[in-house]
Chain A
Amino acid sequence: MTADQRADLNQQALRAFQRDLPRLWAERPGQWVAYRGGQRLGFGLHKHELYQECFQQGLQREEFVIFCIEPQETEITLGPVVLD
């Protein structure tokens, strides 16, 4: 799988997660969910356990993405020294 293919698969996973998030947030807040592209692979109570489950399915690390089921922070504010 090329880097472009991986990036495309991850963007598909992000879109699927964002589509599903309102319902998942209502049903499974704080849990973890794994996607391979648009395909949802499963849920977990702990992130590292869900990683292990995906590995056991034969998937490589770069083939899937795990998200926490919660509102997604997209901005943080830091002191100016950080970007100096």
Chain B
Amino acid sequence: MPLFIDRLPFHRWTDPTRSPPLSYWTVVLPVMVAEPSLTGPPPVAQVQEWALDTGNRGEAFAWRHHLLLAGLDPDQGRLPLPMTILTVAGKVTVPVRDVDLWLVSNLPGSPPPPYRIVLRRGLPFLDVATIPDPQFQRPLIGIRTLRTARLKVEMDFDQDTVSVWTPDPVRP
């Protein structure tokens, strides 16, 4: 399997309001969000940091804000079957927009092109106008998506880095 992301540092954030300051780490992957009809990687799209959430049994989750950041209209391309989000704080039903994700390589030199991650069920998103907390409310990639994309992921909690390998290319 070809290496695609090489020892990308975990995102680290330190809350200076705590005494002493308290640090948090998040395993993030560079991702672009794009229309699902594209035949190739989006030519221009903002790369976002999506949290790798192996505790999320679904595919993915985001906020309306992240679709807007990607230049997509959250009110278009909605799928007719919504998604119910369950948390210990309650549940809410949210819309689902059809998108694809594109994983972006961090390899130096001539990196491979972005790797398409197909969302089979679409992207459920919290349809609120507020901007999510950039530290605690990141868009999420769940375990179902990692399986669909057939990625190999190595998290190194000694060096605080994540590496990703994509599947071997299909030979004719």
Pair from one complex:
yes
Interface residues of A (CB under 8 A from B): 7, 10-11, 13-14, 46-49, 51-52, 55, 61-62, 65-68, 70, 72-84
* B76 CB-CB contact with A under 8 Å: yes
Contacts A47-B36, A48-B100 given; indicate if A13 touches B80 (C-beta within 8 A): yes
Q: Which of A13, A70, A74 contacts B83 (CB 8 A)?
A: A74
* A76 with B58: CB separation less than 8 A: yes
Q: Which residue of B58, B76, B88 contacts A73 across the interface (Cβ within 8 Å)?
A: B58
Task: Give the residue of B57, B76, B87, B120 whose beta carbon is less than 8 angstroms from that of A82.
Answer: B87
Task: Give B128's nearest chain A residue, CB to CB.
Answer: A83
Tell me, in angstroms, the Cα distance from A79 to B39 when the chains sit together.
34
Interface size on B, residues (CB 8 A): 39
Name the one of B38, B80, B137 contacting A10, with C-beta atoms under 8 angstroms. B80
Instruction: Report whether B80 and A74 are in contact in the complex, using a CB–CB cutoff of 8 Å.
Output: no
Give bound CA distance, A77 to B55, whole Å: 9
A-B pairs with beta carbons under 8 A, tally = 96
Residues of chain B contacted by A77 (CB below 8 angstroms): 56-58, 85-87
**Given A10-B80, A48-B100, 18 more contacts at CB 8 Å?**
A48-B37, A49-B39, A61-B37, A61-B77, A66-B98, A72-B121, A73-B58, A76-B84, A78-B87, A80-B89, A82-B85, A82-B87, A82-B126, A83-B90, A83-B92, A83-B126, A84-B89, A84-B136
| Residue numbers in A under 8 Å from B92 (CB-CB) | 83
- A83 close to B85 (CB less than 8 A): yes
In contact, A78 and B76 (Cβ under 8 angstroms): no
Measured between alpha carbons, how far is A64 from B36 in the docked complex, in Å?
A: 13
Q: How long is the Cα–Cα vector from A77 to B142 in the complex, in angstroms?
A: 10
Given A68-B121, A74-B81, A74-B84, are A52 and B39 also a contact pair (CB < 8 Å)? yes
A38 to chain B, nearest CB (A): 13
- Asked whether B61 is an interface residue with its Cβ less than 8 Å from the other chain, the reply is yes
5 closest pairs, A vs B, by CB? A76-B58, A51-B37, A68-B120, A10-B80, A14-B80
- The one of A14, A55, A76 that contacts B57, using a Cβ cutoff of 8 Å: A76
